[in-house]
Amino acid sequence: MEAEKILEVKDLHVAFRFQDKYYDAVDGVDFTLKRNEIFAIVGESGCGKSTIVNSIVGLHDKNFTRVSGEIIYDNANIANYSEEEFNKIRGRHIGFIFQDPLASLNPLHKIGKQIEEPLIYHTDLDKNQREERVLELLNQVGINNPKRVVNQFPHELSGGMRQRVLIAIALSCKPNIIIADEPTTALDVTIQAQILDLLTDLQKEIDAGIILITHDLGVVAQMADRVAVMYAGQFVEVANAEELFDNPLHPYTRSLLQSIPQSDSLGKDLHVIRGMVPSLRNLPRKGCRFAPRIQWIPESEHEENPELREVSKGHFVRCTCWKNFHFEDEGGN
């Protein structure tokens, strides 16, 4: 049986305003998230990863941002929900964990109070039940002395512990969807591994779907079921994790994979992607956005208006020129 779809994003556009003009930072993104699935979005800094998920939890400033397209949750399009409408689902149905736990926790409130807050707002539990639930949550996220931690302030905890607290908050109402935007980027590798394992263990318990944002392809390989590779506001390739790493097709995906130091790169130069990521206002709006970075591929090989197409079951690639793509030093074919 196909797993249940819990989120559907269709032709999402998110534009930021500079002076009087809007520029699309996210330019036509489609995906679905299923129950129990980890869907990862990878790509370099500034490609639009956070912009996508911020529109799912309604964190954009409406005065400077225009969101269009559909974000379907529970049969409703939430893309243009008001602040009050978002308040009802944020925390209750959709939990989120961000890169910087200090910025997401209130420095003046005790940890216990901060975990209790969504329970007050979204559940009918009474005071005692809530306190019990807070301790239970802290236990679940691997905090050894929850009774002490509830009375501490964020600055008294290590980075890894703070991230655990954020996970406890995100899980408090057993949400259907968890959004994790670079949840471990600020942490040491050993703590990163603990937090990611914790997230997978807990996901299984509450049957949530996770959208995981990262720029670390190793993290993707170890965590994700499905992956979207993003470049300059668009998905360029979407596939199951195994398929993506075994059989990467898009020139950008292939270039990224080549640039990671790995065992077989010892003693060799790493692959360098030529040129730079264009800034939002200088994005090529016609043709392929990645074409300027692989200039040895002749113009005639690129598609004029590349779109994401399914090339084998569940494997989507933007454009057709991947068929003839080769690295510069490989020569033709």
Partner 1 sequence: MSFLEIKDLKVHYPIRGGFFHTIQDYTYAVDGVDLSIDEGKTYGLIGESGSGKTTIGKTIVGLEKPTSGKILYNGQTVNSKRARKKLGYNKEVQMIFQDVFSSLDPRKKVIDIIAEPLRNYENLTKEEERKKVLELLNIVGMPGDSLYKYPHEFSGGQRQRIGIARAIALNPKLIVADEPVSALDLSVQAQVLNYLKKIQKEFNLSYLFISHDLGVVKHMCDYIYIMHRGRFVEAGTREDIYNNPIHIYTRRLIAAIPEIDVKNKEKYYMIRKKVEEEYNNYSSLFYDEDGKVFDLIQISDTHYVAIKDKEALKNVENNIA
Residues engaged in binding ligand SF4 (CB under 6 A): 251, 288, 290-291, 294, 302-303, 306, 318-319, 321-322
Distance in Å, CB of 42 to partner 1, minimum: 10
CA distance 302 to 204: 43
Q: Which residue number, 41 or 137, has a Cβ lying nearer to Mg ion?
A: 41
In the complex, which residues of this chain contact partner 1 (CB under 8 A)? 44-45, 159, 188-194, 196-197, 200, 215-219, 221-222, 241-242, 245-246, 255-257, 259-263, 265-266, 269-273, 276-277
Distance in Å, CB of 286 to ligand ATP, minimum: 19
In the complex, which residues of this chain contact ligand ATP (CB under 6 A)? 16, 25, 43, 45-51, 64, 215, 280
CA distance 121 to 124: 8
Q: Where are the alpha helices (DSSP H) in the chain?
A: 49-56, 83-89, 101-104, 111-122, 127-140, 146-149, 159-171, 189-206, 217-223, 241-246, 251-258
| Burial class of 132 by CB neighbour count within 10 A (0 to 12, 13 to 18, 19+) | exposed
Taking CB atoms within 8 Å and a gap of at least 24, the contacts of 138-143 are: 138/111, 138/164, 138/165, 138/168, 140/168, 140/171, 140/202, 141/165, 141/167, 141/168, 141/171, 141/198, 141/202, 142/194, 142/198, 143/168
Q: Out of partner 1, ligand ATP, ligand SF4, none, which partner does residue 131 contact, by CB within 5 to 8 A per kind?
A: none
Residues 36-75 that bind Mg ion (CB under 5 A): 50
Q: Which residue number, 41 or 291, has a Cβ lying nearer to ligand SF4?
A: 291
Nearest to 16 by CA among 57, 58, 51: 51
Distance in Å, CB of 181 to partner 1, minimum: 17
CA distance 73 to 109: 32
Q: Which residue number, 49 or 130, has a Cβ lying nearer to ligand ATP?
A: 49
Q: Which residue number, 50 or 253, has a Cβ lying nearer to Mg ion?
A: 50
Distance in Å, CB of 23 to ligand ATP, minimum: 8
Q: Which residue number, 113 or 302, has a Cβ lying nearer to ligand SF4?
A: 302
CA distance 332 to 286: 26
Q: Which residue number, 139 or 295, has a Cβ lying nearer to ligand SF4?
A: 295
Q: Could you tell me how far CA 54 lies from the centroid of its own chain?
A: 10
Q: Which residue number, 246 or 304, has a Cβ lying nearer to partner 1?
A: 246
Distance in Å, CB of 275 to ligand ATP, minimum: 16
Nearest to 140 by CA among 112, 162, 171: 171
Distance in Å, CB of 316 to ligand SF4, minimum: 12
Total binding residues toward Mg ion, as defined by CB under 5 A: 1
- Contact positions vs Mg ion (CB under 5 A): 50
